[in-house]
Amino acid sequence: MANENTSSCAFRTSIGGQALMEGILMRGVDRQAIVCRKADGSLVNKVEPLEFIKDKHPWMGWPLVRGVVNFLDTMVKGVKALTWSAEQLPEDEQGEPSKFDLWVEKHFSGETAEKIIIYTAVVLGIVLAVGLFALLPTFLAGLVNKLLPLGGWRGLCEGILRLAIFLLYLRLVNNIPDMKRVWMYHGAEHKTIFCYEAGLPLTVENARIQSRFHPRCGTSFLFLVIFVSILIFSLVRTEGTLARMGLHLLLLPVVVSLSYEVIKWAGRHDNALTRIVSAPGKAIQHLTTAEPDDSMLEVAIEALTLVLPEEKGTDIW
């Protein structure tokens, strides 16, 4: 059993990752790498240079703007990486393409079809997230308010429902058989980054003893989004449910932007306040990470090695 208290950072890196189907995506300062393990045990990788929207449009890198931009960019890159990792699985495990995918591939060229499928997946993912975690709690609180007038407690009721739906969603996702291995790769990603931040050689032995709970995880960011939404949405005083839903939609970019700045600040500092801010997200990672095996740590180490900066220190957070 890994000792969850062994991780101590000599520095904090801006390198981040994402668990995939039998693989891991690592994103560095100028390139990203996807490493997957094939059915025969071999490793396959894909390394791509990173292009940042802020380089073309500097204002998109401004504080309180970059949060939404980076969130959308990460979603697009993440879906692309997930699609590529799924293609590395044996054909009998890839599943049948959907009717929509087949229609798109029939009517559009290869590159255009791929973009349509990926951006459609991103849009549907955003719609699902907004519907479940922003609109549904507001709607349910509206029903409660009709039975039991909540008055000034309505915002708190919405927040509790929002958090409950989020935790229930993660619990249900955990029942999907394939997700167990994704969570194990997620744990491998965290352990490997902790190993690198501790200044230790990137070996399976050194990574194995690290914590799988990382404060700059996407899970922590999602929790922060929910917590910040409770604070921001509490400012909405409109009683009509539809009006409240509309205002919540308008305020979502503000919520995402503020959450991004908070997690960025928390990631750069280590004090009592930042540990308090990070604690709930790390606790929720009990649902979204699992202890990896050594073969998964090998994948994570290979992915991280491929994106390490040529000039030491350029990836400091």
Mean pLDDT of the chain: 90
Residue with tokens 């606790």: 283
Q: Tell me the mean pLDDT in the region 199-220.
A: 93
Q: Is the pLDDT of residue 4 over 60?
A: no
pLDDT band, residue 266 (cuts 50/70/90): confident
pLDDT tens per residue, range 221-245? 888 999 999 889 888 888 899 999 9
- What is the pTM (predicted TM-score) of this model? 0.88
The pair phi, psi for residue 16, each rounded to 5°, is -135, 170
Question: What is the per-residue pLDDT for 6?
Answer: 56
What are the Cα distances from residue 23, in Å, to 9, 41, 111, 280?
Answer: 25, 12, 23, 27
Q: Tell me the mean pLDDT in the region 252-266.
A: 90
Question: What is the per-residue pLDDT for 309?
Answer: 94
pLDDT band, residue 209 (cuts 50/70/90): very high
Question: What is the per-residue pLDDT for 17?
Answer: 94
Question: What is the per-residue pLDDT for 80?
Answer: 93
- Give the max Cα distance, the chain: 62
Beta bridge partners of 26: 17, 33
pLDDT band, residue 99 (cuts 50/70/90): confident
What is the sign of the dihedral through the CA atoms of 302, 304, 307 and 308? negative
Tokens matching residue 265: 């600040």
pLDDT band, residue 1 (cuts 50/70/90): very low
pLDDT band, residue 294 (cuts 50/70/90): very high
Among the listed residues 81, 71, 57, 2, the one whose alpha carbon sits nearest the alpha carbon of residue 307:
81
